[in-house]
Structure 1
Amino acid sequence: MSRSIDEPRNARSRRSRTALLRAARELIEDRGMAATTMAAVAERAGVSRRAVYLHFSSRADLITELFGYVNEVEDLEGRFAPVGDAPDAVTALDAFAHRHAEFASRVLAVSRAVEREAGTDPDAARHWRTAAFWRQEANRALMTRLSDEGVLAPGWTVETATDMLLALTSNGVTETLLTTRHWTPANLGHHLALLLKSTFVTRPSAEA
């Protein structure tokens, strides 16, 4: 009997938590990090401020959880699965370009807002450091694979290529192309793949 009662309660609790995280994301995208207070999240979600604290002990806790929420909603793991499943490094690099363009177009608003206020908002800074760390690790894994398979272009080390890839896929570059120049995600993915392969992949020798 207790279990049958607890399960609906747990389901309601999960729905409430998700609604609060969705409200926090919307606020960050619409008004920025500074405006995303516990009170504002409560108002956007249509609940009391006390209800927010039942799920998150602090604003820092809420913003920390937001990172995982956005990645889950946008299916980060599934979206980038073709990169890890690619049969070779060059195919993986190509898949990464297309998947990055798709994912970035969906999270650009929240990511840009967090980045913009990371220098003044400790919660934003913490969120941004986490995101930057995992992006760097994913980039390093790609460049390590190119190097291990002997196709990393001359002049690059794994570390310098990793850093350059981080710059080429930064929010600023993505925003310029998608928002200012009105590229589509498909167009961005296509041209980014061309750029990455021409930059980081060794060219066959004339004798080959």
Structure 2
Amino acid sequence: MNARSRRTREAILAATRALLEERGPAALTMAAVAERVGLSRRGLYLHFTSRSELVTALFDYLADREGLTPSLQPVWAAPDSVTALAEWARHLARYHPRVLAVDQALRQVGERDPDARAHCARADAAQLANCRRLAEWLAREGRLAAPWTEETAARLLWSLVSSELIGRLLGEQGWSQDELAVRLALLQQRTLVAGATG
């Protein structure tokens, strides 16, 4: 892919994100994206052959633009599972607000829109895999509190990644991102870590 094609592809993905954030998923048509970028529909289809392909590419675009990998790095570099759990809470508070509007918009229509549903399923699978990794780490170190199993702990952690929950805590409850990180870490530690008191 040459530099011009890369720039056009980036512009398309940025326009897709902006449309979702500003007008919601109903506004996300190939025609609307093409118009926003200043391309013909045919020109848009040279880069993305379908709306499904465009929405799928948006997942990777957002992860790259908003720093998913660097945000997760402190979690997996932690010296032990309990520290990793606290870093996970900081990651959620740091990264998820950056992609919240797009995630919420796609989830609103996921039941009736196969492209949005596929995007959400991919995001959910990646998040659940990370939660399983954390739960397995706690169990391996003998830090997972009874009666939690690796699977039930992973599912609980995954439920706390909910964009609806994070949106409500930041929006309706007025929590700052720092407050979200501290309170999620406290909840996760007191619930899942054996002998936790802090």
TM bracket, shorter-chain basis: over 0.9
1:31 and 2:27 aligned: no
Give distance in 1, aligned partners of 2:122 and 2:161: 16
Residue 65 of structure 1 aligns to a residue in which SS?
helix
Give how far 1:58 is off: 0.8
**Structure 2 counterpart of 1:12, from 1, 4, 22:** 4
1:129 to 121, 127, 132: 121
1:78 counterpart (58, 65, 70): 70
What residue ranges of structure 2 are gaps of 5+ in the alignment? none
Counterparts of 1:66 and 1:204 in 2: how far apart (Å)? Answer: 39
The aligned residue for residue 99 of structure 1 is 91
State the number of aligned residues. 197
Deviations 1:134-182 (A, max 9, x none): 0100000000000000000111001111111111221121011111112
SS of residue paired to 2:49: coil
Deviations 1:65-110 (A, max 9, x none): 1110000001101111010100000000000000111111111100
Distance 1:40 1:178 in 2: 30
Identical residues among aligned pairs (%): 46
In structure 1, distance between residues paired with 2:17 and 2:28: 9
Alignment partner of 1:64 is 2:56: yes
Structure 2 match to 1:158: 150
In terms of mean alpha carbon deviation, does 153-162 or 47-56 score higher? 47-56
Scaled by the length of structure 1, the TM-score of the pair is 0.92
The amino acid of 2:86's aligned partner reads D
Question: What's the Cα RMSD here?
Answer: 1.3
Matched, 1:188 2:180: yes
Q: Structure 1: any 5+ residue segments left out of the alignment?
A: 1-8
Q: Distance in 2 between matches of 1:204 and 1:26?
A: 43
Mapped to 2, the partners of 1:36 and 1:203 lie a distance apart of: 49
